[in-house]
């Protein structure tokens, strides 16, 4: 009988500490949230066990029912439209066009910008620019601010599509680049062109990328929060109150801690069931599509398509950014001419916004959180993922850890949000250092998924050769594996940086001290101070966006290639 190979204890050292921390600050708050959902606790004082009363009441609560129906409507529309637009854009960018790299960089730009800031910019566009154009063109539907009507959700949907299509487009583009163009030549000989070629060859081959985008999109839009808080605050009335917005508002300020904990648990179950359903349906479809398919075709560059994409980039991507810069440089007297250049540049707007938002302190806080999280996340998560990937087939423990981390991707932050605040207060981690630590912990599920997928493609012969040379697992990881992981590390680093820099919800619920706040949170809090001083507000937005824009301009080549590499490896 073949003896089972013993696992080196070093692999346990690589994973157990991270697993313990993850349990304490992710799983335990989740379990607390589930527990509190069976009580009548208000977030303070005594509590009593009430069994299923909260859950039964949820099914009778018309406000909750409406929020779920609205959330479903928004999630379905956003998921379909974002993926349709992204797939069309990816096919256009994958065609024979000029300025291809420039256009890729431009259309990926929205992903780098924070949802909160972009929502504020579009909120101004819907209130001050679109109605003017609507009246000038005689279009009644555009003559009023859509955010103040019963169709306010459509305005939020537009912003969601604008920002979300960037990442999804790049995922589809990475899939399209794996398609052998020789297949198109064979299809052309068989008379398959245009739509027929797309549905019979292209789409079946990129079906796995379609599955990834659909599942992640559906999950994210079911938990939509930032754009609704910034653009409508759940209004008019409760017309655009998503489940996430309802849980936040009622859980923290409505005295419904336990009741909204039950609501959050229900949202978790909904997200899991819908995600599993999507995976089953879409993965089943992948197999059938792949069976239908079994380049180097010389094509001239499509100048018309190139011009159309450039026009789309100018109007849809550069347009809002141009308006942000122009308004930030204007005086209050010039605000009536939205798109006109300022007569005299008002640099003082930036100085006032700098002081009003305490920009240096907020910038330092955000930079500290981003950089420290990046350094610890990349190394610790890569090391833990290496141990898990190399031992999943050898040990039930490591296989359990893999599914333990991955399953947490489907736990909405809303389920953890309420009990996490209590944990943060108890352990005094409701500060910059504490939230940095939480970002490291909360990033583990996605990073483990990305790293383990990449490590599977690396031959184990590298590890075996290192062992023969006397290297320990730690030495093997540091000297051999970590350098080999460079492409995926770039992906993880990019996603981590953009998440922590642009995140709004976690700082909102954890950082109450003004001295500890981040740039995104400062924009939300100081909106009231800006009042109708849009020039100061936009100067403040630009101060927040500028570091990201500079970072993207300098590193866009590595950012795009990193995300594409990560997508292909998955």
Cα R_g (the chain), whole angstroms: 25
Question: What phi, psi does 527 have (nearest 5°)?
Answer: -60, -40
Range with lowest mean pLDDT among 12-16, 255-259, 320-324, 358-362? 255-259
pLDDT-based confidence at 242, cuts 50/70/90? very high
Task: Identify the three-state secondary structure at position 230.
Answer: helix
Cis? peptide before 132, omega within 30° of 0: no
CA distance from start to end of the chain: 36
Amino acid 197: pLDDT: 73
Amino acid 376: pLDDT: 92
Count other Cβ atoms within 10 Å, centred on residue 361: 15
Cβ contact 176:94 at 8 Å: yes
What is the DSSP code string of 418-471? Answer: HHHHHHHHHHT--SHHHHHHHHHHHTHHHHHHHHHHHHTTS-THHHHHHHHTT-
Q: Looking at residues 112-133, what average pLDDT do you find?
A: 90
Q: Looking at residues 1-12, what average pLDDT do you find?
A: 74
Rounded to an integer, what distance in angstroms lies between the CA atom of residue 546 and that of residue 112? 11
pLDDT tens, position by position, 248-272: 988 887 778 899 999 999 999 998 8
Q: Say yes or no to pLDDT of 569 above 80.
A: no
Amino acid 185: pLDDT: 63
CA dihedral 383, 386, 392, 394 (to 10 degrees): -100
Amino acid 388: pLDDT: 94
Q: How far is residue 175 from each of residues 80, 142, 309, 471, 491, measured CA to CA in Å?
A: 18, 37, 20, 37, 16
Amino acid 176: pLDDT: 83
Percentage of residues in the chain with pLDDT exceeding 90? Answer: 44
pLDDT-based confidence at 404, cuts 50/70/90? very high
pLDDT-based confidence at 432, cuts 50/70/90? very high
Percentage of residues in the chain with pLDDT exceeding 70? Answer: 89
Q: Looking at residues 511-530, what average pLDDT do you find?
A: 85
Amino acid 443: pLDDT: 92
pLDDT tens, position by position, 469-512: 888 999 999 998 999 888 888 888 888 998 999 999 999 999 98
Task: Identify the three-state secondary structure at position 49.
Answer: strand
pLDDT tens, position by position, 373-385: 999 999 999 999 9
Residue 198 region, left (φ>0) first, then alpha (ψ -120 to 50), else beta?
Answer: alpha
Amino acid 184: pLDDT: 64
Task: Identify the three-state secondary structure at position 52.
Answer: coil
pLDDT tens, position by position, 192-229: 666 777 777 788 888 888 888 888 898 899 999 999 99
Q: Say yes or no to pLDDT of 287 above 60.
A: no
Amino acid 204: pLDDT: 82
CA dihedral 495, 498, 501, 506 (to 10 degrees): -60
pLDDT tens, position by position, 484-493: 888 888 888 8
pLDDT-based confidence at 96, cuts 50/70/90? confident
Higher confidence at residue 410 or residue 285?
410
Per-residue HEC secondary structure of 149-186 comes to CCCHHHHHHHHHHHHHHHHHHHHHHHHHCCCCCHHHHH
DSSP symbol at 56:
H
Per-residue HEC secondary structure of 387-409 comes to HHHHHCCCCHHHHHHHHHHHHHH
Amino acid 297: pLDDT: 42
Q: Say yes or no to pLDDT of 294 above 60.
A: no
pLDDT-based confidence at 563, cuts 50/70/90? low
Higher confidence at residue 565 or residue 61?
61
pLDDT-based confidence at 526, cuts 50/70/90? confident
Task: State the chain's mean pLDDT as an integer.
Answer: 86
Rounded to an integer, what distance in angstroms lies between the CA atom of residue 192 and that of residue 488? 37
């Amino acid at each position: 009988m073949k003896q089972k190979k013993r696992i080196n204890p070093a692999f346990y050292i690589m994973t157990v500490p991270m697993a313990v921390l993850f349990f304490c600050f992710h799983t335990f708050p989740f379990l607390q949230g589930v527990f509190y959902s069976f009580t009548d606790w208000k977030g303070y004082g005594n509590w009593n066990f009430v069994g299923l009363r909260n859950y039964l009441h949820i099914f009778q609560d018309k406000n909750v029912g409406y929020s779920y129906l609205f959330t479903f409507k928004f999630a379905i529309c956003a998921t379909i439209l974002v993926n349709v637009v992204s797939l069309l854009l990816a096919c256009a960018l994958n065609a024979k066009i000029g300025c291809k790299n420039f256009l890729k960089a431009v259309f990926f730009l929205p992903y780098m910008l924070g949802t909160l800031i972009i929502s504020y910019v579009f909120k101004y566009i819907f209130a001050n620019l679109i109605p003017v154009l609507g009246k000038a063109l005689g279009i009644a539907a555009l003559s009023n601010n859509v955010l103040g009507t019963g169709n306010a959700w459509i305005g939020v949907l537009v912003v969601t599509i604008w920002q979300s299509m960037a990442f999804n487009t790049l995922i589809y583009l990475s899939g399209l680049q794996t398609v052998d163009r020789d297949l198109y030549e064979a299809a052309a000989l068989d008379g398959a062109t245009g739509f027929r070629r797309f549905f019979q060859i292209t789409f079946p081959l990129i079906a796995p990328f379609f599955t990834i985008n659909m599942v992640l999109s559906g999950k994210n839009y079911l938990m939509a929060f930032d754009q609704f808080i910034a653009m409508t605050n759940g209004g008019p009335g409760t017309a655009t109150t998503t489940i996430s917005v309802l849980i936040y508002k009622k859980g923290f300020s409505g005295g419904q801690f336990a009741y909204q904990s039950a609501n959050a648990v229900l949202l978790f179950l909904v997200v899991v069931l819908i995600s599993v359903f999507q995976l089953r349906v879409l993965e089943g479809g992948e197999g059938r599509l792949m069976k239908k398919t079994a380049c180097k075709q010389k094509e001239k560059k499509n100048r018309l398509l190139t011009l159309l994409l450039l026009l789309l980039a100018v109007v849809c991507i550069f347009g809002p950014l141009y308006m942000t810069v122009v308004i930030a440089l204007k005086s209050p007297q010039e605000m009536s001419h939205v798109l006109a250049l300022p007569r005299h540049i008002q640099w003082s707007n930036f100085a006032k916004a700098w002081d009003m938002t305490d920009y240096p302190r907020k910038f330092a806080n955000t930079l500290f959180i981003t950089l420290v999280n990046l350094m610890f996340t990349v190394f610790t998560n890569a090391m833990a993922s290496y141990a898990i990937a190399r031992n999943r087939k050898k040990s039930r423990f490591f296989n359990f850890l893999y599914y333990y981390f991955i399953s947490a991707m489907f736990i909405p932050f809303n389920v953890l949000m309420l009990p996490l605040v209590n944990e943060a207060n108890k352990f005094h981690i409701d500060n910059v250092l504490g939230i940095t630590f939480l970002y490291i912990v909360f990033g583990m599920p996605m990073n483990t998924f990305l790293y383990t997928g990449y490590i599977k493609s690396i031959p184990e012969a590298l590890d075996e050769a290192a062992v023969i040379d006397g290297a320990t697992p730690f030495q093997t990881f540091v000297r051999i594996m970590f350098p080999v992981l460079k492409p995926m590390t770039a992906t993880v680093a990019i996603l981590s940086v953009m998440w922590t820099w642009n995140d709004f919800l976690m700082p909102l619920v954890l950082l109450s001290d003004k001295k500890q706040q981040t740039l995104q949170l400062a924009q939300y809090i100081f909106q009231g101070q800006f009042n109708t001083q849009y020039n100061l507000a936009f100067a403040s937005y630009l101060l927040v966006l500028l570091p990201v824009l500079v970072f993207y301009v300098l590193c866009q080549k590595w950012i795009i290639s990193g995300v594409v590499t990560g997508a292909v490896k998955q």
